[in-house]
């Protein structure tokens, strides 16, 4: 029997407090029908991971948001990376794997570390800061555009563009309308910035374009790959870092463990991704009739994978609502999985290790200086503000 839930994961009150809705979806059945949007939803870790592994049944080519981009419902050209399946996806993915291989990025680690110390020292001078903006936003917004090779002018358009990208993956609601209003000239800016001529010759963007010379991808595909990297890799990292700092400020024993061993920065980040999954939902579309539990999904029906719910699944995690940087968080779904796992995860982890490591070495105590406020978003999750007090080491 099909389980139908009167739950709208995009209602503003649900976005402000999403865990009860995640729990309801996950615990009701392996797959539930959400009439509010005419889609299926899966919230159990094993089922979500299974969908990720089977791209031939659960396609990304119709778009990974609510809309079916094959019907012209998307606001931007389809991504050759995110909105494609093999074999069309394979060439673009191979290029990005090469460009973002750890060996290719080795020179960035030192640059990230220097900038992280500067950002932390600036916050320490202030004493009380909003970690969501003064740490979690400021650091990636400095190092990532530099790494891509972006021109200095116009970078203020990046966050409005990314917001438009994520809000447009959800329904046509007030959040999407506000993102469209705030975008201003962001679309035009990004279209200009992803061109080869606008990128520094020694950055990630230029490295992507170089594969057009060898014929691995077309020049148009190279620009689209730079665009995908810019639109998908900023907000998610910002939100993840802010969530980790939010947790560490409220758990002195966890902060003490990180301070005693800054090498736990990676573990602290992974646990933050699990507990506060920054991109908590992603869509797939069935290519054939397929049964999941007692439900049967028809071809071309959309399934929302509730990653935030899966990452708190008690079937997979002990004490799933606790933040524990000693937990083995491997297997969380925050970076997706299968052929579509997040291509930028190496960069995100490098950023996290640099910033959290600098905090652990240079800050004696991090304490709450007020209540953190959630960010309301159709397709993102985390904190808009994280007031903290920093005491120098």
Q: What is the pLDDT of residue 33?
A: 98
Closest CA to 175 of 185, 184, 165, 188: 165
Tell me how far CA of residue 240 lies from CA of 163, 235, 368, in angstroms.
Answer: 15, 8, 17
Between CA 352 and CA 350 the distance in angstroms is: 5
3-state helix, strand, coil split of the chain in percent (to 5) is 50, 10, 40
Determine the average pLDDT of the residues in 265-270: 98
Torsion of CA 43, 230, 267, 328, to 10 degrees: 30
Chain centre distance of CA 57 = 24
Assign 161 to helix, strand or coil: helix
Determine the average pLDDT of the residues in 361-375: 97
Number of helical (H) and strand (E) elements in the chain, helices listed first: 17, 13
Q: What is the pLDDT of residue 310?
A: 98
CB 34 within 8 A of CB 9: yes
Q: What is the pLDDT of residue 129?
A: 98
Six token digits for residue 22: 């995640």
Tokens 């220097």 belong to residue:
114
Reported as a single tens digit per residue, the pLDDT across 210-265 is 999 999 999 999 999 998 888 878 999 999 999 999 999 999 999 999 999 999 99
Q: Is pLDDT above 80 for 154?
A: yes
Please state the domain extents for the chain: 3-392
Q: Is pLDDT above 70 for 319?
A: yes
Count of CB atoms situated within 10 Å of the CB of 198 = 17
- On the 0-12 / 13-18 / 19+ scale of CB atoms within 10 A, 328 is exposed
Determine the average pLDDT of the residues in 196-204: 95
Q: Which H or E run includes 21?
A: helix 19-28
Six token digits for residue 122: 């600036």
Which of the four pLDDT bands, split at 50, 70 and 90, describes residue 103?
Answer: confident
Reported as a single tens digit per residue, the pLDDT across 46-91 is 999 999 999 999 999 999 999 899 887 666 778 888 889 999 899 8
DSSP state of 262: G
Reported as a single tens digit per residue, the pLDDT across 296-318 is 999 999 999 999 999 999 999 99
Which of the four pLDDT bands, split at 50, 70 and 90, describes residue 266?
Answer: very high
Choices 1.10.630.10, 3.10.105.10, 3.30.70.2660, 3.40.190.150: CATH for 3-392: 1.10.630.10
Q: Is pLDDT above 90 for 325?
A: yes
CB 54 within 8 A of CB 30: no
Q: What is the pLDDT of residue 37?
A: 96
Q: What is the pLDDT of residue 74?
A: 67
Q: Is pLDDT above 70 for 128?
A: yes
């Amino acid at each position: 029997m099909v389980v139908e839930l009167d739950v709208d994961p995009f209602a503003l009150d649900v976005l402000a407090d999403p865990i009860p809705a995640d729990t309801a979806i996950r615990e009701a059945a392996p797959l539930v029908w959400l009439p509010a949007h005419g889609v299926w939803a899966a919230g159990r870790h094993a089922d979500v991971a299974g969908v990720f592994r089977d791209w031939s049944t659960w396609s990304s080519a119709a778009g990974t948001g609510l809309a079916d981009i094959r019907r012209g419902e998307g606001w931007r050209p389809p991504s050759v990376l995110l909105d494609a399946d093999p074999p069309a996806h394979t060439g673009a993915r191979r290029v990005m794997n090469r460009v973002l291989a750890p060996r290719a990025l080795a020179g960035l680690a030192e640059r990230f570390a220097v900038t992280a110390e500067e950002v932390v020292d600036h916050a320490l001078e202030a004493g009380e800061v909003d970690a969501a903006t003064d740490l979690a936003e400021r650091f990636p917004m400095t190092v990532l555009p530099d790494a891509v090779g972006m021109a200095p002018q116009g970078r203020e358009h990046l966050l409005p563009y990314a917001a438009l990208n994520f809000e447009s993956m959800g329904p046509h609601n007030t959040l999407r309308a506000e993102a469209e209003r705030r975008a201003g000239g962001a679309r035009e800016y990004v279209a200009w910035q992803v061109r080869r001529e606008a990128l520094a010759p020694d950055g990630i963007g230029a490295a992507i374009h170089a594969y057009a010379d060898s014929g691995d991808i077309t020049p148009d595909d190279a620009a689209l790959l730079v665009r995908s990297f810019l639109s998908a890799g900023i907000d998610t990292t910002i939100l993840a870092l802010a969530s980790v700092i939010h947790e560490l400020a409220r758990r002195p024993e966890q902060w003490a463990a990180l301070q005693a061993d800054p090498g736990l920065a990676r573990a602290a980040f992974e646990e933050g991704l699990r507990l506060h999954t920054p991109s908590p939902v992603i869509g797939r579309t069935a290519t054939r009739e397929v049964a999941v539990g007692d439900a049967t999904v028809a071809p071309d029906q959309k399934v929302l994978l509730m990653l935030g719910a899966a990452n708190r699944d008690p079937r997979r995690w002990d004490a799933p609502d606790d933040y524990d940087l000693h937990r083995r968080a491997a297997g969380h779904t925050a970076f997706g999985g299968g052929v579509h796992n997040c291509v930028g995860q190496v960069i995100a982890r490098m950023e996290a290790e640099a910033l959290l490591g600098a905090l652990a070495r240079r800050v004696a105590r991090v304490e709450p200086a007020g209540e953190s406020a959630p960010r309301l978003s159709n397709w993102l999750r985390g904190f808009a503000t994280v007031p903290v007090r920093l005491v120098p080491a």
